[in-house]
Structure 1
Amino acid sequence: MTFIRNHPVATFFVLAYALAWGAVPFGSFFAPGALVAAIVVVLLTEGLAGLRSVGARLIRWRVSWIWYVVAIAVPLIVHFVTISVNVAMGAPSPDTGQFTPFYGLAVVIGMNIVNPTGGPLSEEPSFRGFAQSSLQSKRTPLAATAIMAAAITGWHAPLFFISSFGLKPFEALTTVAVTIWYAWLFNHAAGSALITLIAHATEGAINTEDLWPAGGDATRETWLYVAVWCAVAIGLLIVSRRFWTSPAPVAATHSQHPSNVKETVS
């Protein structure tokens, strides 16, 4: 217990790895393991008060409307740019069946937000709501995010090397890039895991693998998607360089007591 209390984030990731990877031999990946790990570690180290603090981030909706727009717009723009560039480079117009009916995309985003077995709802309260906020309580956002990028990419490792999951090893770069993007968004949105949950759900709402059949067009699209997300991440690091090396906002650190949440956000 002394080790767990002194190293809660390290303990969290060890448990998250064990739970998620434990399903791999059975041909699956237990994404909810991250959320289970966070709940266990917070209960052991902080009790119910800690759980309330993490849970408060998941329902922290009183943030500026602009962050709702940014959370939805950026992932959709990344998809749009990727598709447009791929078509410009010779790919045929993609099959848009997954966007029919017109409200289908909004429905999929909503389903991704509430899906208890999906990545967004499992990862955002744990990775951002607990781990990111804990790490940057004593570190700069840049240092905390670097640790998060390495740990989260490692957590996803089976998805890149097991053919049944359909991902390529180089797509790990996307995980690093979106981790930077989520950290930037989380801090700007007053430490709201709800905002990053919406962004994560939006990013996964378009199944790019269905846009083109297997072949050169599909491969190029995958590389372009990685490149566009990397460009977003690099842009955030350069344009907001002072943000990354300054102390994290108090509202986005785990040192904040739950009773101060409402006052800080408002």
Structure 2
Amino acid sequence: MLKNLIRRFPVTSFFTLAFGLSWMLWMPYVLGDHGTNVEPDIHIPDIGGNGQLVGVLPGAYLGPLTAAFIVTAVSEGRSGLRHWKARLFRWRVGWGWFLGVLFGVPAAILIGTAALPAAWEEIRVPSAMIAIAFIPVVIMQFLTTATAEEPGWRDFALPRMQRRFGPVLGTCLLGLLWGCWHLPLFLTEWGGYPDVSWVQPVEFVASCIPLSLVMTWVFNRSGQSLPLVMLLHALINSTYSLVWPEMFPRLNDDKDTLHGLLIVTTIAAIVLIVVTRGRLGLDTTEERERPVEPARV
């Protein structure tokens, strides 16, 4: 019965599992001493000055990554898993793509921050230690956050959703769901709780939509290279967590990062939609992978 349901509605099954598994594992983090403190006896160990590594990562890994594996295995079997795995290890992309993402993402974030008036009150040049630490932090983000999330959102869900709804609408729906998946974390130190207003999660979810449009373009134009998209994701997190506070010490980490991200990604998304005429790099003339039937959602 359950297998038939997954085979019939693979996309809906994926999102149900991704949300359910992650939110279930995040509950101790949300209710415990690093969150709402409803259950003060729940203690999340601090690693690196906070409880995010223990509180967030297990739920992140168990959610999108596990959901994608389970639904693919049940609905498409070994053949489907081979194609899912192929995108996951598709490193053979021109070096120009990797260099463009490596330098372009931090540059876009830092330049876009200049649109915030308060950014001009004080700007500092990052120290040598920040430069030295940047690549190790990117690697860590690649192996943690990006690896936990992108095999699900971009490797499993994106190809199906853009075939079903088209590149723009399919990506917007994916971005909305991707953003909403993070919502419980705004009740923890991850989201700045208790000093968080309703505006921040709304702005975060809103920024996930144009960001997803940019990621879809990179995914499609690179021949569906998931490592490239994972690198993009890791660079965004690393730039905001490491370089951005050092360069703009007067800005608020929790609020102004969202303002800047929304501005930069919205401008980039609009440009890409106009330039690609809404195709976002989707190749309709060649089959780069085994065709995936439009899934009912």
Q: Please, which of 158, 166, 175 is the counterpart of residue 191 of structure 2?
A: 166
Q: Which residue of 1 aligns with 2:14?
A: 12
Equivalent residues in 2 for 1:40-55, closer than 5 Å: 40-55=70-85
How big is the shift at 1:93?
A: 2.2
Identity fraction in percent: 25
- In the alignment of these two chains, the number of paired residues is 251
- 1:2 paired residue number: 4
**Secondary structure, counterpart of 1:31 in structure 2:** helix
Amino acid at match of 2:131: F
Unaligned runs of 5+ in 1: 257-266
Corresponding residue of 2:291: 255
Deviation at 1:199, TM superposition (A): 0.9
2:276 maps to 240
**1:187, 1:248 within 8 Å by CA — same for their partners in 2?**
no
- Partner of 1:137, secondary structure, is helix
Tell me the residue number matched to 2:168.
Answer: 142
- In the TM superposition, what is the alpha-carbon distance from 1:248 to its structure 2 partner? 4.8
Alignment partner, residue 92 of structure 2: 62
| Residue aligning to 2:213 | 180
Paired letter, 1:16: A
Match of 1:205 among 238, 262, 266: 238
TM-score by length of 2: 0.74
8 A contact 1:34–1:126 mirrored in 2:
yes
Give the TM-score of the pair, scaled to structure 1.
0.82
Deviations 1:46-72 (A, max 9, x none): 222222211110111222333223322
Alpha-carbon distance in structure 2 between the residues aligned to 1:45 and 1:67: 33
| Aligned match of 1:130 | 156
- Residues 107-137 of structure 1 deviation map (CA, whole Å, 9 limit, x = unaligned): 22122222xxx32111111111111112233
Match of 2:121 in 1: 91
Residues 214-250 of structure 1 show CA distances to partners (whole Å, capped at 9, x for unaligned) of: 7668744542232122211222122222424976565
Deviates more, 1:99-108 or 1:19-28: 99-108
Unaligned 5+ runs, structure 2: 30-54, 193-199, 293-297
Instruction: Supply the AA of the counterpart residue of 1:152.
Output: W
Displacement of 1:94? 4.2
Instruction: Give the AA of the match of 1:194.
Output: P
Measured on the aligned residues, the alpha-carbon RMSD in Å equals: 2.8
- Inter-CA distance 147–225: structure 2 relative to 1 (3 Å threshold): closer
